[in-house]
Amino acid sequence: MKIHQNYMALFTAAGFAFLVLIANMVTQAPDGMMRMGYAVALYLISRDTLAGASIAKGPRRFSNPDRWVFAFYMALFFGTFMLLLLWRGIGGLGSQLIATVLGALIYGIAMAFLPSKGSHPYAHHFQTENPSSIRRFFYYAAPLLKLAIIWILVQNSPPSAAYLFFFIALIGFAFPHYRRKTNGNPLWANFPTLVGYLLLTLIMATHL
């Protein structure tokens, strides 16, 4: 029996929360439950952005900007999840960030430029017609814009894990390159993403 991809997305998201739980049992780091919730939200919210970047990545060459955009999103996802997984508290962010950024860069570039098999398995679920010139420009400019916005928001918010991960997930993976095909049911087509945003909002609301 084939399981619908929406259910698979929710099961996979629960797996990310389980990894944070296991890591927290070892490290006894603060904000364990919150980080588990953010791990679920991060995966669910990032799916369409990562898929869109993967679909659009094009030929495997260093001069291809689409590959670098894909590398950025893979690095952002990996780095954010590593922070959630190995969190030491907001006071230890500075020392943890150096190793996390370095690891994320290596991971993102490797995923973007190492040989891969075929196209994204769920490409047929997205509207992949050629986007307008304005959308293409925004797609290439988005990584720098998103990093700048996240930096500004985090710098002007209370120093806490809740604000940090909220803004990374909310801004970092907003505006996927391709929209999902709804087949007349947009709520069900985007259900995992909506669950991710709802969870993200609920976690943030409980930490204001």
Amino acid 94: pLDDT: 81
Classified as helix, coil or strand, 126 is: strand
pLDDT tens for each residue of the chain, 208 residues long:
567 889 999 999 999 999 999 999 998 988 999 999 999 999 999 999 999 999 999 899 999 999 999 999 999 999 999 999 999 888 888 888 899 999 999 999 999 999 877 677 778 888 888 777 788 889 999 999 999 999 998 888 778 889 999 999 999 999 999 989 988 899 999 999 999 999 999 999 998 7
As separate numbers, helices (DSSP H) first and strands (DSSP E) second, the chain gives 8, 0
| Helix %, strand %, coil % of the chain (to 5) | 70, 0, 25
Torsion angle of C-alpha atoms 119, 3, 202, 144, degrees rounded to 10? 0
CB atoms within 10 A of CB 203: 21
In whole angstroms, what is the distance from residue 177 CA to residue 46 CA?
12
34, 162 contact by CB (below 8 A): yes
In whole angstroms, what is the distance from residue 137 CA to residue 205 CA?
34
Amino acid 1: pLDDT: 58
Extract the tokens encoding 28: 């006894």
User: Distance of CA 10 to CAs 52, 61, 88, 193, Å?
Assistant: 19, 34, 27, 10
CB atoms within 10 A of CB 204: 20
Domains of the chain by residue range: 5-205
In this structure, the chain runs to a length of 208
